[in-house]
Structure 1
Amino acid sequence: MRALDERDIRTSFINCSKGEAKRLAVPRDLDERPWDDLDFFGWRDPGAPDRSYLVAEQDGRLAGVALRFQQSRSGFLQRSMCGLCLTTHPRGGVSLMTARKAGAAGREGNSVGLYMCTDLACPLYLRGRKVPEGGGRFEESLTLEEQIARTLGNLSAFVAKVTG
Structure 2
Amino acid sequence: MEPLGENDIRASFVNCSKGEARRISLPRGLADLPWADLDFLGWRDPGAPDRGYLVAERGGELTGVTLRVPQGGPRALTKTTMCSLCLTGHGGSGVSLLAARKVGASGREGNTVGAYMCADLACPLYVRGKKVPLMSMRYKESLSLEERLERMRTHVDQFLDKVFQER
With normalisation by structure 2, the TM-score equals 0.93
List aligned pairs for 1:1-164, cutoff 5 A.
Answer: 1-69=1-69, 72-75=75-78, 78-136=79-137, 138-164=139-165
Give the superposed CA RMSD.
Answer: 1.2
What amino acid is aligned across from residue 46 of structure 2 in structure 1? P
Q: Matched residue of 1:95: which SS?
A: strand
What amino acid is aligned across from residue 75 of structure 2 in structure 1? S
Which is further off, 130-139 or 105-114? 130-139
> How many percent of aligned residue pairs carry the same amino acid?
59
- Between Structure 1 and Structure 2, how many residues are aligned? 162
What amino acid is aligned across from residue 104 of structure 2 in structure 1? G
Q: Matched residue of 2:160: which SS?
A: helix
Partners of 1:27 and 1:136 in 2: how far apart? 28
Structure 1 residues 154 and 114: CA distance shift in structure 2, 3 A = same
1:99: how far off? 0.4
Residues 37 and 124 of structure 1 are in contact (CA less than 8 Å); yes or no, is this contact kept in structure 2?
Answer: yes
Flag structure 2 segments of 5+ consecutive residues without an equivalent.
none
Partners of 2:25 and 2:105 in 1: how far apart? 25
Segments of 4+ moved more than 4 angstroms: none
With normalisation by structure 1, the TM-score equals 0.95
What amino acid is aligned across from residue 113 of structure 2 in structure 1? V
Partners of 1:105 and 1:99 in 2: how far apart? 12
What amino acid is aligned across from residue 54 of structure 2 in structure 1? L
